[in-house]
A and B are shown apart, each in its own frame.
Chain A
Amino acid sequence: MTSSGLTATQSTDALIDVQNLRVTFTTPAGLARAVDTVSFRIAPGETVGMVGESGCGKTVTGLSLLRLIEPPGRIDPSSKIFFEGRDLLTLSERDIRRVRGRRIAMVFQEPMTALNPVFTVGDQIAEVVRVHERAPRRAAWHRAVEMLERVGIASPAERAKQYPHQLSGGMRQRVLIGMALVMRPALLIADEPTTALDVTVQAQILELLRELQRDFGMAVLLITHDLGVIAETASRVLVMYGGEIVEATSVERLFANPQHPYTEGLLAAMPRVDDARERLTVIPGTVPPPTAWPSGCRFRDRCPYAWERAEREHPELYAVEPEHAARCFLVLEPERRALAAEPRA
């Protein structure tokens, strides 16, 4: 494998090393910069949460790691995604297929629609094995049944012969997880795996994911809009806004000492058990369309602190501490926080 850049190499301890990921979509309204210079690493066995509102680029980031972006979407050629020593973006179509489902797997948000309605769930899991191992039909089926059992489905041999519409939402999500893990991938991308489910089922699925991660030792990128889910499962967090990472730190620090006003807003909007407030705070305004990010800081229109520098200049990710960075001028000028005595909203 030749690395195309001189400086761009994979850091030694990371399982996946995403460098300057940019994804654009050509639309009638102009070029949409859905993901903009996103960089992060995930260590083997680590669980990283990625959080943000819908439309912030989380899902597109997840799809990019498997190169599942299709026209009119496009991953910028300057982006790098190093995984197990190779840049995924320079692999041939054949080679990236050998990564998908085998080394990196993905679980999608909608268990109702993510399964093919005309094939049995057993067939759909067995297909992964057959695609990657050229395993005989019987052996692949056997592995599928085993996997169904592993993800907590009762009487798996019978269930395997059923079609998706015969299973409940929670069971379908278990099937999808089984399908993702049947090849024991090194990285699992879970895109809102519990959003579409009932609250009680949500907890069960999260518990299952945690348990499987422990047993299989895989790394997980958990994409969600729910900080509560992050708090329960992840060790590190990436907060995304406007196609960019706006804050990156450990879960503990994020909850204890958020630096970006957007993170603050997310935390304030989070319901808590010990909450005495009458109403939840919401972040005012909406995410601007990705074809027209505001100049300077992309959050400035919704930010209670924004001052004129945010209009003029685009903030970088500034280090707060060695393992904590935020894309906000407040890191550089913390005294400004006090100036905005009474934040809006």
Chain B
Amino acid sequence: MRRTLGAIVIAFLVATLSFVLVHAAPGAPFAALREDPRVTPEMADRIRAQYGLDRPLGDQYLLYMGRLVRGDFGESFQQRRPVRAVLADALPKTLLLMGTAIVVAFALGVLLGAVQAYRRGSRFDAAMGHLSLTLASIPEYLLAIALLALFAYRFPLFPTGGMADAVLSRFNSPLQHARDVAWHLVLPATTLVLIIGAVVARYQRAALLDVLPEDFVRTARAKGVSPRRVLFVHALRNAMLPTVTLVGLVFPALFGGAVFVESVYSWPGMGRTIVDALLARDYPLIVGSVFVGSLFVVAGGLIADLAAAVADPRTRTA
């Protein structure tokens, strides 16, 4: 399949880009290693050997690629454990946050967009249009801060951050733990839902208005189908296909949003791992998390594309 091939090309490009960036950065890579108090002399030697820093650049590149293919990203300076283990912890947490947000945002956005299209030109439509444009114009980090200030500090309804209560989680049963995590998930997920949902609603409304002049919509009306059914069944089923594709296209931006949201709410996912790694100059973790983060994004887009293809009988059976 062409898309899968594209994904491999992208992975390769990202990997190469990371390599180039690390080597193009001012000063030799890992120059600060010797002075870094977190890095023991043995560790530094190990790293230098691992990266083949004494060998020519071409060899280094091959070595680096070979390790990436095997999923070996080295050891995190900061956490003193394999990068792979750090990422294995972080990835599911981002998946939980983004997955929840996308599913809820998609459902709400499609519904809102459809109701707007159904009542196009009404005051409700105009009001929602302004609201969604405003929400889509608010940077994720600002909305995150606003919700945090409002619903965690001013009205302490929800926790201020993290993924579970640090103390209680040791004693909680699995069920209690799940409830605690869901509780911590509300604000970060809502932040993403509001923004993604606004984008989806705007797009869904426009897609529906594009579909309405189609001949088959007129056929449905001529059959005696009610306007509501015409819009929510006949038109919407068609207009949802481009919206699913849209989610795939904006997936990189969604991940970007998650980086900020995780940072504001200290959600221990990929985004926060990346930012922490960057702030700490934890090179192995930077390369590993940027690479895996990009793969995650590419996979997300691929899944959305597949979903759109499966939902469309023309591509499914042709």
By a beta-carbon cutoff of 8 Å, the part of chain A in contact with chain B is 63, 66, 68, 93, 97-102, 105-106, 108, 110, 113-119, 127-128, 131-132, 163, 165-166, 176, 179
From known contacts A163-B317, A166-B317, infer whether A101 and B222 are also in contact, taking CB-CB under 8 Å: yes
What A residues does B229 contact at CB under 8 A? Answer: 131
Instruction: Please tell me if the beta carbons of A97 and B314 are within 8 angstroms of each other in the complex.
Output: no
Instruction: Please tell me if the beta carbons of A116 and B317 are within 8 angstroms of each other in the complex.
Output: no
Residue with the greatest number of chain B CB neighbours at <10 A, chosen from A99, A105, A117, A179: A117
Give 10 nearest A-B pairs by CB, closest first: A101-B224, A100-B224, A101-B223, A113-B215, A116-B216, A163-B313, A106-B222, A114-B215, A97-B224, A118-B237
From known contacts A101-B224, A165-B318, A179-B223, infer whether A68 and B238 are also in contact, taking CB-CB under 8 Å: no
26 A/B residue pairs, CB under 8 Å, sorted by A: A63-B218, A68-B218, A68-B221, A68-B222, A97-B225, A98-B224, A100-B223, A101-B223, A101-B225, A108-B215, A108-B222, A113-B214, A114-B216, A114-B218, A116-B237, A118-B238, A119-B234, A119-B237, A127-B223, A128-B224, A131-B225, A131-B229, A165-B317, A165-B318, A166-B317, A179-B219
Give A105 to B224 CA distance when docked, in angstroms.
9
What A residues does B223 contact at CB under 8 A? Answer: 100-101, 105, 127-128, 131, 179
Judge if B122 is at the interface, Cβ distance under 8 Å.
Answer: no
Give A63 to B218 CA distance when docked, in angstroms.
10
Judge if B173 is at the interface, Cβ distance under 8 Å.
Answer: no
Instruction: Please tell me if the beta carbons of B314 and A113 are within 8 angstroms of each other in the complex.
Output: no
Judge if B312 is at the interface, Cβ distance under 8 Å.
Answer: yes
From known contacts A100-B224, A118-B238, infer whether A165 and B219 are also in contact, taking CB-CB under 8 Å: no
Instruction: Please tell me if the beta carbons of B222 and A117 are within 8 angstroms of each other in the complex.
Output: no
Judge if B249 is at the interface, Cβ distance under 8 Å.
Answer: no
What B residues does A118 contact at CB under 8 A? Answer: 237-238, 241, 312-313
What B residues does A108 contact at CB under 8 A? Answer: 215, 218-219, 222
Give A98 to B224 CA distance when docked, in angstroms.
6
Give A63 to B215 CA distance when docked, in angstroms.
12
Task: Give chain B's interface residue range (CB within 8 Å of chain A).
Answer: 20 to 34
Give A94 to B267 CA distance when docked, in angstroms.
53
Instruction: Please tell me if the beta carbons of A176 and B219 are within 8 angstroms of each other in the complex.
Output: yes
- Interface residue from B215, B221, B313 paired with A100 (Cβ < 8 Å): B221
Judge if B250 is at the interface, Cβ distance under 8 Å.
Answer: no
Residue of A nearest to B226 (CB): A97
Give A127 to B219 CA distance when docked, in angstroms.
12
From known contacts A163-B314, A165-B313, A165-B318, infer whether A110 and B224 are also in contact, taking CB-CB under 8 Å: no
* Chain B facing A: main interface SS: helix
Instruction: Please tell me if the beta carbons of B216 and A113 are within 8 angstroms of each other in the complex.
Output: yes
- CB B180 to nearest CB in A, in angstroms, measures 42
From known contacts A118-B312, A165-B313, infer whether A99 and B224 are also in contact, taking CB-CB under 8 Å: yes
- CB A235 to nearest CB in B, in angstroms, measures 25
- CB A124 to nearest CB in B, in angstroms, measures 8
- Interface residue from A66, A102, A113, A116 paired with B234 (Cβ < 8 Å): A116
- Residues facing A in B223-258 (CB within 8 A) are 223-227, 229, 234, 237-238, 241
What B residues does A93 contact at CB under 8 A? Answer: 227
Judge if B108 is at the interface, Cβ distance under 8 Å.
Answer: no
Residue of B nearest to A163 (CB): B313
Give A101 to B241 CA distance when docked, in angstroms.
28
Residue of A nearest to B311 (CB): A118
- CB B90 to nearest CB in A, in angstroms, measures 39
Residue of A nearest to B241 (CB): A118
What A residues does B312 contact at CB under 8 A? Answer: 117-118
What B residues does A131 contact at CB under 8 A? Answer: 223-226, 229
- CB B281 to nearest CB in A, in angstroms, measures 52
Supply 15 further A-B pairs (C-beta < 8 A) apart from A118-B238, A132-B224.
A63-B218, A68-B218, A68-B221, A97-B224, A102-B224, A113-B214, A114-B215, A116-B216, A117-B216, A117-B312, A118-B313, A127-B220, A131-B226, A163-B313, A165-B313
- CB A159 to nearest CB in B, in angstroms, measures 13
Give A108 to B237 CA distance when docked, in angstroms.
21
Give A326 to B225 CA distance when docked, in angstroms.
39
- CB A138 to nearest CB in B, in angstroms, measures 20
What A residues does B226 contact at CB under 8 A? Answer: 97, 131
Give A68 to B221 CA distance when docked, in angstroms.
8
What A residues does B215 contact at CB under 8 A? Answer: 108, 110, 113-114
What B residues does A98 contact at CB under 8 A? Answer: 224
Give A54 to B239 CA distance when docked, in angstroms.
30
What B residues does A100 contact at CB under 8 A? Answer: 221-224
